[in-house]
Amino acid sequence: MVSVLLVTYNHERFIERALSSIAMQRLDAPFEVVVSDDSSSDATLALVSAWAETVDIPVRILPAQPRLGITLNYARGFASCRGRYVAVLEGDDEWLTIDKLQLQVDLLESDPALTMAASRILVYDDATGASAAEPMLALDAMTATVTSDELAAYNWFATFSCCMFRAEILERLDPAIFETTAYDWLINMAVTVHGPAGFVPVVATLYRIHSTGTWSSTTELNRTDQIRRVIPRYVELLGGEAGRELTRLLHALDALLRDARLLESEPSALVEQRNAGAVAKQSEAGEEDARVHADPVALPIPRVTRLERPRVSVIMASYNHAPYVLEAVNSVLDQTMADLELVIVDDGSADDSLKILSTLTDPRVRVYRLAENQGACAATNLAIQQTRGGLVALINSDDVWEPHKLQRQLDALSARPDVTAVFSSARFIGEDGVALPQERIPFGNNIFRQPNRTRAQWLRYFFEHGNALCHPSMLIRRAFYEDHGLYDGRLRQLPDLERWITLVKHHDILVLGDEDLVRFRLLASEQNASSLTRWNVARGLHEHIAIQESFFDDVSDDMLVEAFLDQLQHPLIRTREERECEIALLLWNTPCGMQDVNRIHAQRLFRELLGQPRAARLLRARYGISDLTLHYFAGMERRSIPVAFDEWLTTLDELRSTPPDDPDLVPVGAVPAGQLVRIAVSRTRRPGDASLSRRAWRNLRVLGRRP
């Protein structure tokens, strides 16, 4: 089934780790190892030969030849492989998961159009022990495909060692490719000319940077210059869209190298001045664009060496929570239910979080680092992609679980096998871990203490009130993410609400609303993602509008009627136009805390429907709504959120500066996601301005029926 092509040259220091990672592979079909050594002058070949005598794997060591160089050594290696698929491992790299080959074979077998499969990699600095997961690809899905022109724009697969190819595609490659300096980049592009590459987002390959590496030992400028020199030949060999994309890249690299050489020739004082200007420009970008890089920290290499899967996979996205992260980790490891793994993704922390995480020795813990801050969704999604259990639980890096949390939820799932996710209530704590007094808890202590509802009732609740499910209390079947997708990285304040809306459209959930299984930490320093800041409130508004655009997607007519029967004008829905008209009226008419936001989307829907002849006739005949009605809608919303946005944020500033004992205002502090818009909207409402009275609405409908 698979030929493992082991390519070596003076890899004596690392080869035993590479060989061990091959031997641990578990594949549901035979595989062979083909060794293509490029005349190593150290003990590399002797170590490989000794290893071949000890393993129950067919090993073929190709005859020694005078030094061929990287490209020709690969050419003879590929030609000697007999498997249906060829997986490459360079002698200074290694594989990290026991099923790396199986994952790639499964992907290629499932889609005959794919020409190759690549895994995510761990870029490992041999000198410092620092590491980072790469590439930042497929951070919102369990799989992805990459085309030849996309590879031409950016080398998404940074090493041969993460790649598996269809042998029949390798046989089609132009021999001239191997007569030039054919880095893995060119060969991957040449392969994907025949079809896209599949991507397995599991961190399954370690790519080692070391001082003797052919590529990694050179400077960034030299690497850029080498790439620029080979591109014209690549364009000639590939042509097509990939060639056009490479030509664009060539011009960009020309400009980059020209600027770099000019910079080298400038006086040092001028260089310092330019650097200072760059720093100042970054500071002006504000809080959202600031990126601070921490010193390198050696993390244990995260390996998966067992096929047995844990019952629960716990995920944690960690970011700048050094004072709290160890307590959060220990609350997971000290669970009464021990059959678990803990997957931690550090999202580019600039404090001591990584140093603390590097001290963890429990074999159930794997820590991955992102080189730069990507946002909570990206870090959370990458963690989910690394999980191996059938159930997924999430904990924030500043929260704490009660010791029996997982066991209680597992018992609940066992009693209700029809349920896809179990949530619980939470107890609010402060920085010191002590329970917060009532006056410091937004909306009291009951936001997460929810009763159980039907799927339709939950849909109605989310529509009217936003979120009330405690994210770090979640225990969910992993299949939900596989079937319906991961968190939307375009959202920051409300990604969990967006997923819960999708969840209740398709599955039943259970809420242990009277059990505080989580200690939810509120930070006065506003480090929570849901803190009541101008940034977060503004984002919350726009994200609610974005979520409403797809709120009713995949909602059946029966579920729509069940959830909103009392608000529907004509519940007997038979056509698409009837459904869309009822949804537009729901958005406009339903009195709730989210109504001002809903009406923004309602106006867009009415505008679209009035542009469709059948829908426009239906709106006029059944509901008395015409173009003139839309004009009225637009005019009466003069105090809607987008128009009064400055006033809205001014009101927020008043909220934050008001003494907490003012009974008319919400206390200052962090607010659970989904509540931010409700706070601001409720504070900016004025009677008769922000919304129509029932009498005005009745009069409007009468006006709409007039000729």
Residues 415 and 550 in one domain: no
Mark whether 68 and 190 lie in a shared domain.
yes
d(CA 152, CA 227): 12
pLDDT number for residue 268: 52
Q: Where are the alpha helices (DSSP H) in 6-123?
A: 15-23, 44-52, 70-80, 100-110
- Do residue 115 and residue 42 come from a single domain? yes
Tell me how far apart the alpha carbons of residues 618 and 625 are, in angstroms, rounded to a whole number.
Answer: 9
DSSP annotation of 161: G
Confidence of residue 443 (pLDDT cuts 50, 70, 90): low
Check whether residue 232 and residue 318 sit in a common domain: no
Domain count, the chain: 3
Per-residue pLDDT band for 181 (boundaries 50, 70, 90) equals: confident
pLDDT of residue 285: 40
269 within domain boundaries:
no
684: closest CA among 699, 669, 665?
A: 665
Length of the chain, in residues: 707
Identify whether residues 394 and 446 lie together within a single domain: yes
pLDDT at 470 over 50: yes
Same domain, 68 and 142: yes
Among the candidates 189, 213, 238, a domain finishes at 238
Q: Residue 535: inside a domain, yes or no?
A: no
550 and 518, same structural domain?
Answer: no
DSSP-derived letter for residue 575 is S
What does the pLDDT read at residue 372?
93
Within-domain flag for 536? no
Same domain, 336 and 474: yes
Extended beta strands in 441-573, E state: 475-477, 508-521
Question: Are the C-beta atoms of 165 and 348 separated by less than 8 Å?
Answer: no
Average pLDDT in the 242-265 region? 74
Q: Which domain holds residue 560?
A: 543-705
What's 19's domain CATH number?
Answer: 3.90.550.10
pLDDT of residue 14: 96
Out of 466, 489, 522, a domain closes at 522
Residues 558-585: tens digit of each pLDDT: 999 999 999 999 999 999 999 999 999 9
Report if residue 196 sits inside a domain.
Answer: yes
Tell me phi and psi for residue 333, to 5 degrees: -70, -20
Q: Give the closest residue to 102 by CA, choosing from 124, 121, 119.
A: 119
Q: What are the φ and ψ backbone dihedral angles of 309, each rounded to 5 degrees?
A: -100, 140
* Range with the poorest average pLDDT among 194-203, 496-505, 642-651: 642-651
Residue 69 lies inside a defined structural domain of this protein? yes
Residues 444 and 553 in one domain: no
Answer yes or no: is pLDDT of 249 > 60. yes
Phi and psi at residue 456, to the nearest 5°: -65, -40
| Residue 532, pLDDT score | 56
180 shares a domain with 50: yes
Is residue 450 included in any domain, yes or no? Answer: yes
Mean pLDDT score across all residues of the chain: 84
Q: For residue 653, which of 544, 539, 532 has the smallest C-alpha distance? A: 532
Same domain, 430 and 575: no
Q: Does some domain include residue 204?
A: yes
Nearest to 486 by CA among 140, 137, 138: 140
Of 201, 216, 238, which one is at a domain's C-terminal end? 238
In which band, very low, low, confident or very high, does the pLDDT at 261 lie, cut at 50, 70 and 90? low
**65 and 164 both lie in a single domain:** yes
In a domain, 9, yes or no: yes
